Amino acid sequence: MAVYTHLSAEDLAALIAQYDVGELVSAKGIAEGVSNSNWILETTGQDGNGARFILTMYERRIDLAELPFFLDLLDHLSSHGLPVPHTIHDRHGASWRMFDQDKAVALIEYLPGVSVDRPTPQQAHAVGASLAQMHIAALEFGETREDKLNVLHNLTALQSCREELAHIDPRLPEMIERGQRICRDWPTSLPETIIHSDLFPDNVLMLGETVTGLIDFYFASNGAMAYDLAVTHAAWCFDRDGSKFHADVGDALMQGYQSVRALEPRENAAMPILAQAACLRFVASRAQDWIDTPPDAHVTRKDPMDFVRRWDVYAEMGDRLFA
C-alpha cells in the first residue's frame, strides 16, 4: 500500500480542521502510487451533505520548491474545463501546508471513475482528445518547469547501470547503443507546452468511454507535445508486458488527439523516434529501480524488458504505425 507515513485519526482530523470542508468522517489509504502517501477522506461537507477528497503527503521524488508549480497547474487546467482535480485551499488560502515540520500535504478534489486495464479503441480515442485539450489549455499556463527526464538524462541513467544490465536480461546492454542513436537523431524545435509526461492508464479515470479524471501530474514539465503523445501511445497501446501491440487502440488514440489538435508534418515525422525515446525513458527508470530494490524488499519490481519489447515494435514498424 502506498502509505509510507502513518497518520492517526487525530492527525487527520487536525489537518481537515484547517480547511472549510466540514468534519472528518472516514479515511482510507490508497494502494496505488509509488512516491507519495494518499488517502481518500470523507467529511461532512460544508452543507452537511457529505464530501470526498484526496489527501496527498509528498514523501519522495518531489522538490518542495516545485510543489506550487504542480498544484497551480491542476488549478489552471481545472479552471479551463479539463477533468483535472483542483486543489482545496486551506483557511489561509494556501494550496498546500506542512505537516509535522517535514512533510508537505495537499487536499485535492476527488473525481469519480476507474482506471482501465484493457482500453478499448473508443476509450483510447477519448484519452487522445483529452490529452490534446490539456496541451492547448496548458499553453496559457504562465509557469515553467525544466524537463528533468529528457532524452539525454535517460540515456545517462541507463549508462550508469551498464555493469548490471546483463544480470537483468542479456539484451538490455544493447539498449545503450540504441539510446545513443536516439540522442544523435533527436528532433528539435517541435511545438511545446506543459506536458503530463506520464499518462499511463492508471493516471486516467474513466466512466465507460468518458474521461472523468487526468491525475498525477508530478512529472509535468515543459516539453514537446508530440513526445507526450508518444509516451501515451507506448503506455496505452500494448499489453502490459509489451508483447502485443494493439493497432486499433493506437489508431484511435492518434485520431482522438488529432480530432482536437492536428499534428504538424514535422511532429508526425518525428513520432517513431519520439516513441522510441519514450521506451528509453522507462527502460532506464525501471532498470535503475530494479537494481536499487533489495532482493528481500516487499515490492514487485517492474521489468524493463516490457519497454524493450515496445521499443522493438517502434524501431521495426514506427514509420508504418504513424504514417
For the chain, domain boundaries: 9-109, 121-321
What whole-number distance in Å separates Cα of residue 157 and Cα of residue 155?
5
d(CA 27, CA 105): 15
The Cα 308–Cα 280 span in angstroms is 8
Residues 276 and 178: beta-carbon distance below 8 Å: yes
Confidence of residue 64 (pLDDT cuts 50, 70, 90): confident
Each residue of 152-171: pLDDT tens digit? 999 999 999 999 999 999 99
| The pLDDT value given to residue 32 | 60
CATH superfamily membership of 121-321: Aminoglycoside phosphotransferase (APH), C-terminal lobe (3.90.1200.10)
Q: Specify burial of residue 35 (Cβ count, 10 A radius: 0-12, 13-18, 19+).
A: middle
Domains 9-109 and 121-321 are alike in CATH topology: no
Rounded Cα gap, residues 234 and 87, in angstroms: 29
The answer to whether 308 and 175 are in contact (CB under 8 A) is yes
Three cell numbers, residue 36: 507519495
pLDDT at 31 exceeding the cut of 80: no
Mean pLDDT, range 313-321, rounded to an integer? 93
Class of domain 9-109: alpha beta
pLDDT digit string (tens) for 284-296?
A: 999 999 998 777 6
Q: Please, which pLDDT band fits residue 1 given cuts at 50, 70 and 90? A: very low
Give which of 16, 23, 27 is closest to 91, Cα–Cα: 16
- Residue 2 is predicted with a pLDDT of 46
| Grid cell locating 60 | 519522495
Residue 297's pLDDT band (cuts 50, 70, 90):
low
- Confidence at residue 122, expressed as pLDDT on a 0 to 100 scale: 98
| Global confidence as pTM | 0.94
Helix 225-236 to helix 247-258 angle (10° resolution) is 150
pLDDT of residue 43: 96
Amino acid identity, residue 18?
Q
> Strand, helix or coil at 217?
coil
All three cell numbers of 37: 502517501
DSSP designation for 64 = G
Give me the sign of the Cα torsion angle 31, 233, 71, 101. positive
Q: What is the pLDDT of residues 197-254, one digit of tens each?
A: 999 999 999 999 999 999 999 999 999 999 999 999 999 999 999 999 999 999 999 9
Return the exposure string of 61-91: e unless at least 16 CB atoms fall within 10 Å of the residue's CB, then b. ebeeebbebbbebbbbbbeeebbbbbbbbbe
How far is 18 from 92, CA to CA, in rounded Å?
A: 8
Confirm if 135 and 193 have CB atoms less than 8 A apart. Answer: yes
Q: pLDDT averaged over the chain?
A: 93
Question: How many Å is the Cα radius of gyration of the chain?
Answer: 20
Confidence class of residue 60 from pLDDT cuts 50, 70 and 90? low
Distance of CA 151 to the CA centre of its chain: 17
- E strands along 84-242, which residues? 87-88, 97-99, 103-109, 192-195, 204-207, 210-214, 221-224
